[in-house]
Amino acid sequence: MAKYKIAWLPGDGIGKDVLDAVRIVLDAIGFDAEYREGRIGWTCWITEGNPLPEETIELVKKCDAIMFGAITSKPPGEAEKELPEHLRGKVKYRSPIVQLRQILDLYVNMRPCKAYPGNPLNYKEGIDIVVFRENTEDLYFGVEVPEWTEELRKCHPDFTRIPVGAAVSFKVITRRGSERIIRAAFEYARKHKRKKVTCVHKANVVRAADGLFRTVFYEIAQEYPDIEADDANVDSFCQWALKDPLKYDVVVAPNLYGDIISDFIGQMVGGLGFAPSANIGDKYALFEPVHGSAPKYAGKYIVNPIAAILSAKLMLEWLGETKLALAIEKAIEETIREAPPEVRTYDWGGPKKEGQTLVLARYIAEKAKKHLENL
């Protein structure tokens, strides 16, 4: 019997292309796993009116970790139009990945942004920032009122200031939600010998919600006297990160700012083709590249698999397979430093050629295998 059961969810579009590439690498380093493929995404939505079939939820709960590709999402109106006649008006589209994060309580969204030396896409050499984005609260909590009413205006003194008919989205931040993401950031910093954790917020304006997040941040920081703690408003953080990204190390933020700054910093270290992520809870964890399903490239094996391969590396780390993770890390490092243009993908100066995803994956797999032998 294999040591691990891995839920394998390619999803839509290039999700399959990049997960096929991941398998080439995992097989090359002899990762001892049994892969259980699950259905998720747009195809499920347009055939059965549910992008996250019940059987998939059952499946992921039985596995040790989840590897996810990407899904296609569309606004509710458009989603409705693509349903077969008999399902229209009966079901409502909700992103299956957001659902999975909630069902499995994956409250940590970790996005390492590392400038691997020699990548011509690096904004600056030496950037090595790990963003911890809260994954269950804030504006993504989903309490929204499309049209404010007279009735609602009467519920709270401040609510009278909201005009009838206004669209209102609530931002919800709790002490518990803040504590667990902030602690995860500090624990990571300690474990990986990082020097500083920066809290990003907008507490000078969003005083209640962000104020609480910042207060909790400094409370928890006291438990980690060995790690420097500081904070910044999100606007000034962006300014400083652009001016001097090397001054940041681990960064923790509520959901929305975390989303924005991780895309922003991700772009400084190569962009979507290089950006991995981990969604982690106390019991389950799901690993996925940051990019989406890029439908125009679906099935062509043109895109960069590095984001997905680095996500698999995060999975190996989480499972405690440190050696295998290190072999991948070294292989990626070496690949980025010395891969000739003909094995690279188009976003990184290689040819826009079908099959290129797998060419690069095999190149990385060879290197990973070699590094593993020397570890």
Amino acid identity for residue 231 in this structure: D
C-alpha to C-alpha distance for 242 and 128, rounded to whole angstroms = 14
Q: Does 235 qualify as catalytic in the annotation? A: yes
Q: Which two tokens stand for residue 321?
A: 């397979």
Which C-beta is closer to ligand NAI: that of 71 or that of 364? 71
From the list Mg ion, ligand NAI, none, partner contacted by residue 71 (C-beta under 5 to 8 A by kind): ligand NAI
Q: Name the segment binding Mg ion (CB under 5 A); options: 70-78, 147-155, 227-235, 257-265.
A: 257-265
Name the CA dihedral angle for 348, 350, 354, 358, rounded to a multiple of 10 degrees: -70
C-alpha to C-alpha distance for 119 and 299, rounded to whole angstroms = 26
Helix (H) or strand (E) holding 252: strand 250-253
Residue closest to Mg ion (Cβ): 259
* Residue of 114, 202, 313, 367 with catalytic role: 202
Q: How many helices (H) and strands (E) does the chain have?
A: 13, 12
From the list ligand NAI, Mg ion, none, partner contacted by residue 347 (C-beta under 5 to 8 A by kind): ligand NAI
Q: Name the segment binding Mg ion (CB under 5 A); options: 10-18, 64-72, 191-199, 258-266.
A: 258-266
* Residue of 93, 107, 116, 140 with catalytic role: 140
Q: How far is the CB of 1 from ligand NAI (least distance, A)?
A: 31
Q: x/- site string to Mg ion, residues 48 to 87, per CB under 5 A?
A: ----------------------------------------
The answer to whether 210 and 203 are in contact (CB under 8 A) is yes
Q: Name the segment binding Mg ion (CB under 5 A); options: 54-62, 211-219, 238-246, 254-262.
A: 254-262
Q: Does 284 qualify as catalytic in the annotation? A: no
Which C-beta is closer to ligand NAI: that of 18 or that of 199? 18
Instruction: Report the candidate in 223, 11, 247, 89 with the shortest Cα–Cα distance to residue 232.
Output: 247
From the list Mg ion, ligand NAI, none, partner contacted by residue 177 (C-beta under 5 to 8 A by kind): none
Fill in the DSSP letter of residue 354. T
Q: Does 210 qualify as catalytic in the annotation? A: no
Q: How far is the CB of 259 from Mg ion (least distance, A)?
A: 5
Which C-beta is closer to Mg ion: that of 259 or that of 334? 259
DSSP letters spanning 119-162: -TTBSSTT-EEEEEEE-SSBGGG--EESS--HHHHTTSGGGGGS
Three-state DSSP at 16 gives helix
Strand partners, 286: 66, 279
* Residue of 259, 284, 313, 367 with catalytic role: 259
Name the CA dihedral angle for 149, 154, 159, 162, rounded to a multiple of 10 degrees: 40
Which C-beta is closer to Mg ion: that of 38 or that of 69? 69
Q: How far is the CB of 125 from ligand NAI (least distance, A)?
A: 22
From the list ligand NAI, Mg ion, none, partner contacted by residue 72 (C-beta under 5 to 8 A by kind): ligand NAI
Q: Does 353 qualify as catalytic in the annotation? A: no
Restricted to residues 291-310, the positions that interact with Mg ion (CB under 5 A) are: none
Which C-beta is closer to ligand NAI: that of 111 or that of 367? 111
Helix (H) or strand (E) holding 69: strand 65-70
CA 122 to chain centre: 20
Applying CB under 6 A, which residues contact ligand NAI? 70-73, 97, 272-273, 288, 291-294, 303-304, 307, 345, 347
Which C-beta is closer to Mg ion: that of 231 or that of 259? 259
C-alpha to C-alpha distance for 35 and 315, rounded to whole angstroms = 14
For residue 11, report the phi and psi dihedrals to the nearest 5 degrees: 75, -135
Q: How far is the CB of 224 from ligand NAI (least distance, A)?
A: 31
Provide the annotated active-site residues: 140, 202, 235, 259
Contact positions vs Mg ion (CB under 5 A): 259
